Amino acid sequence: MTVPVIVRSDLGDEEVRTRVSLGGDDELFVADSSSIVYRAEGLLTDESTEELTYDADRLTLSDGRRKTSLALEYPLSGTAEVTVPASKTDDVLRPVLAGVLRANDVIDPDESLIEVYRFSELTLILTERRLIEHVGTAVWDEGYETYHFRDVTNLSFEEGDVATRIVLEVDGRPQRIKAPNDAADDLRERLKRALVDYYERTSGTDPEEPDPLERSQERVPTGEEQTERPSRSRRAVRSEPARADGQRAAVESRPPMAGTADGATADATQNVARAAVADSTGSDGDDAASQEILERLEALEETVERQNERLEAQQQTIERLIDELRQGR
């Protein structure tokens, strides 16, 4: 079906995410920036539209057997409300709720919602980067709690006769959330999968770390220049904006494990460096050139070792978290 011209005019080039029949020819068009309530032309009325913007500070649902009423409350202009078929509630709620969360800077502009769970007066919103908890009759308002996956240090579940407790450790502090058993299995698997996917996406090498081959082409300061320059290492500079819990410092202090691919890379780099210096010294006997080559190779070796340390520590942390999630701990 084509989008009515009057709706297309309101939306511009925006894509319609969902369209829901409101009875007769009336429809609700859900887009990223707003939703449009379309009223078709009748015997006594012309066709018209009403825009529901997402800059609301409260979102409420009233469920009925056949209809669901969705209300957006604004700080100055009051409340806008639309009624949709009960069978279409989830289709409408997810994109509208995502728009409200983005408009209120609760989630990132490119962050997607995975699922919305409504348990009586508890709402859990699972996204690809965080878990949002809201307690109350509203689906969402300013009284929410959010737990970003980068701060999660452990996940476990405590099963009961009626409900299951989700124990989410955030920066080492447990946060307990109770979910009904009939929905706990689905929530458990989606939450575990979201955590694993997040850590797999963010487990690459730090983009600020220079390429070791590129670093090897840089001019290495001489001993006198190094003495004159303040003794402030790259690692010391990079650690200043780090998180207060010291996790990055603890990770960076670990050396590469012997027998691993990272350790083998470091050993190979050392062997190549020594062989290159020996060959250069034997061929021309130029001490100055040999010293410069040695300094460059030592700088390359230091960079590779530092990257290996970071990669090894990250891999161990990710593997431990994935194992715990798969075991349901």
Interval 55-110: pLDDT, tens: 999 999 998 889 999 999 999 889 999 999 999 899 899 999 999 999 999 999 99
Domains for the chain: give ranges and CATH numbers.
Answer: 8-81 (no CATH), 106-202 (2.30.29.30), 212-224+247-326 (no CATH)
Which of 87, 94, 96, 81 shows the shortest CA–CA distance to 65? 87
| Chain segment 284-306, per-residue pLDDT in tens | 556 666 677 777 777 777 788 77
pTM, rounded to two decimals: 0.61
Tell me the pLDDT tens digit for each residue of 147-162: 999 999 899 999 888 9
Tokens of 38: 């379309």
169 pairs with which residues across the strands?
A: 154, 174
Q: What are phi and psi of 37, to 5 degrees?
A: -90, 115
Query: How far is the C-alpha of 127 from the C-alpha of 108, rounded, in Å?
Result: 10
Interval 222-229 mean pLDDT: 45
Predicted pLDDT at 97: 95
Mean pLDDT score, 212-236: 41
